[in-house]
Homo-oligomer: A and B are copies of this chain.
Amino acid sequence: MSSNKELEKPRFAPVILAGGSGTRFWPRSRRARAKQVLALQGERTMIQQTLERLQPLASASDVWIITNHWLKDVIAEQLPEIPSSQVLSEPCPRNTAPACALAAFLLEPTAPDTVLGVFPSDQVVADAKRFAEVIGAGVRLAAAGENIVVLGIPPTRPETGYGYVEQGAEIPGEAGIPVKRVKRFREKPDPATAERFLAAGNFVWNGGIFLWSAKTLAAAVREHIPDMAAPLEAIAAAFGTPEFEAVFAEEYPKCENISVDYAILERRSAKGESRSNIYCLPADFGWTDLGSWASLHEHLGENDRDNVMDGETTGLFAIQSGGNYVYAPGKTVALLGVDGLVVVETDDALLITTRARSQDVSKLVRAIHESGREDLI
């Protein structure tokens, strides 16, 4: 039985998307040191943790990384087990649809049944064992026919910063892993709509993890975003040749700058839940998206009033102060009468803001960029 299973096991190629611009966690993150390559929580970097979680499911030699030229070298250094030819650097930023589609066209000619899994590289997963179980089941489901599998995160609040997946009927699946048909994909909602989604009970957050076979995705690209097919096929054909970089640089910018959710999944879901073959599995493995200093405070603190000291500070003295996040490596921090602040120091910069404003740090980075202080970008 177990040997049979082994033989049946579908080939699985994770595609890790790592195209950050390093603005949200400035001044720790920089263009060449985006959050994916930082150890924001734990000892290993986020992309190292991403690979580590996938290793029960896939060999490192089957992993692809799509990043940018700022991060390529540091990623190759942090993940030496991945073949360097499979660490691709986008010639220009192009959202998720071209990146995912490129992976499909690269594998389709030689391994059309390989299941591609798209994984962001900046997520935190608390329960790696459950992650492997759910993704494993998702890979098997995606390997069967023309199925597309998405992961849905159980929502805990009426979040307006994520897209949502509206789930339909449950279908039979593996033990302990409920499978639901997908009715529709919904873009980031306004607050009232988000409240309605949360109350309805059949909406989950779209965490950007998708599974599908190379041939299924390639077919979906040709159907839903046909203009993208020719340039990506040209790039795939040049892979492994001396012309690859030149073709990549020439053809990739022709692709539309669009997300895979919008370009393929929403369009396909319009066929109706029983015909689209899109299925949702529960991402019930302690998922967290680290999108700002405020979310890092939430992740590291036990409650909202905690003063979170990060970066191996050497002590904390707090008087009438709560809910602050401070990153000050090697220093003792003293707080007096301050609440909800974010203070982050690096060798060359000191950021002072509030948790409430920390999602606007990218505005500061833009101002720094416009001033010509590229040393800080």
Contacts and interface: CB of A to CB of B under 8 A. Distances in A.
B350 A326 contact: yes
Contact of A336 (B338, B363, B373): B363
Given A364-B334, A371-B317, A373-B315, A328 B343 contact: no
A332 B364 contact: no
A361 interface: yes
A222 interface: no
Contacts of A349: 331-334
Interface in A329-373: 330-338, 341, 343, 345, 347-354, 356-358, 360-361, 363-364, 367-368, 371, 373
Given A27-B334, A326-B352, A368 B314 contact: no
Contact of A348 (B331, B335, B352, B358): B331
A283 B324 CA distance: 44
Interface residues of A, number: 42
A175 interface: no
Contact of A351 (B334, B352, B371): B334
Nearest to A26: B334
A319 interface: yes
A350 B343 contact: yes
Contacts of A333: 349-350, 352
Interface in A279-329: 314-315, 317, 319, 321, 324, 326, 328
Contacts of A367: 317, 319
Given A319-B360, A334-B368, 14 more contacts: A314-B348, A317-B364, A317-B367, A319-B364, A326-B350, A331-B347, A332-B373, A333-B350, A334-B349, A335-B352, A336-B351, A336-B358, A336-B364, A343-B352
Interface of A: 26-27, 314-315, 317, 319, 321, 324, 326, 328, 330-338, 341, 343, 345, 347-354, 356-358, 360-361, 363-364, 367-368, 371, 373, 376
